[in-house]
Amino acid sequence: MTVAASPALVTPPTDPTAGPLSVPSALQLIGNTPMIEIRKVRCGVAPGVRILAKLEGFNPGGSVKDRPALSMIEDGLRHGKLVPGKTIIDSTSGNTGIALSMIGAALGYPVELVMPGNVSTERKRVATAYGAKLTFSDPLEGSDGAIRMCRAIIAADPERYFKPDQYFNEANSLAHYRTTGPEIWRQTGGTVTHFIAALGTGGTIMGTGRYLKEQRPDLQVIAAEPADAFHGIEGLKHMASSIVPGIFHPELLDLTVPIETDDDYNMVYRLGREEGLLVGQSCGAAHVAALTVARELQTGTVVVIYPDFGDRYMSTNLWLGWEPSELPGVNGRQA
C-alpha cells in the first residue's frame, strides 16, 4: 500500500497565487473554486443587490465535500488515528463518500461507505469507480439509518476502521473556516453582507459563517433547510426530525429559511435553462433562500454556496418524469 508522506504536503493553498501551476496530487486542487454572479434568476431583487454563487462543483471530487473530507483525513493522519492497515469508513448521502473515496485512492487507503439505498445511481457509481466498497442502509431511514448502520459495522471490528465522522468532527467545519470563508472574503473584496448555505452536516455554514462573522460582525448567516421531514431534497437534513450533527450550532445562525421540495426542483430547472448552470438539488434550495433574503434588501452582496453540479442527479426524482413544459415561463406558464 502506498501512503502519502506528510499530511502537510496535501493541504492546498487558500491563496491561488501561492500555488504552483502544476501539482503533484489531485488533492492539491481542492479549493479556490470560482464564483459567478447570478444575473437572470433574480426576479424581484433590487438593482443594488448582487447575488454571487460559489461553484463548489469545480473541486476535483465534484463537490464542496472535498474540503472537509481532506481536512478530516489530514486530522486523522496528524493524530495517528489513520495509519497503514486501517480502512476509512463513514456514513454518507453521497458527496462526502465520493470525496473520501477519491482521497483514499490518492493516499492508498481502502474506503468503505454506508449510504441510504436510495441515493442516486450516479453517486454510487462514482464512489465505486474510486474503488470504494458500498453498503446500503434502509432508504426509508435516510441519512440517520446510514449513521446507525455505520456505527454497527465499526462496533463489530473497531480496530479495523478509521471513521472521519463527518457529523461530529470539528475538522469538518474547520475546513471551511480555513478555506471557504477566506476565499469568499477575498473574492468579494470584503463586500459580502449575507452568506447562505443549505443544511446537511452543517459544516459549510458553521465554518464559513464563523470566519465571515469575524471579518464583518454585522454579516448575516442564513441556512436553507427542507420544510419538513418528508422532503425530497437529497443530501439535506430537516434538523427537527433528524439526528442533529454535533458540529451544528443553530445559535450561530441569523435566519433559517424553510424550502419546499417543489420550489427547490423548479429552481434547479431555472438555473439550468436561464443561467447555464446545471446544478444539484441542494443548490436549488440554497438559491431559493438567497432570493428570499435578497428581495428584502435594497443594497448588499449575497453569497450562496452551490455544493455540486447536476450530473449526479439525473436518475433521481428531480429529473425522472420531468417535462420542459413544467417549467415556469415555458409554454405560457406563469413564472
DSSP 56: G
Separation between Cα atoms, residue 102 and residue 325, nearest integer Å: 38
Q: Is 40 a catalytic residue?
A: no
Retrieve residue 45's grid coordinates: 431583487
Report CA Rg, the chain: 19
**3-class DSSP assignment, residue 11:** coil
Cα–Cα separations (whole angstroms), residue 10 to 29, 106, 332: 10, 10, 52
Burial class (CB in 10 A: 0-12, 13-18, 19+), 144: middle
Which of 54, 65, 163, 237 is the catalytic position?
65
Q: What is the DSSP string of 120-147?
A: -HHHHHHHHHTT-EEEEE-GGGHHHHHH
Per the annotation, the verdict on 282 as an active-site residue is yes
Of 91, 101, 120, 282, the active-site residue reads: 282
CA distance 293 to 221: 11
Task: Give CA angle at 256 (253, 258), nearest 5°.
Answer: 165
Strand partners, 224: 198, 257
Distances (CA, A) of 287 to 14, 197, 222, 294: 25, 9, 11, 10
Catalytic machinery residues: 65, 282
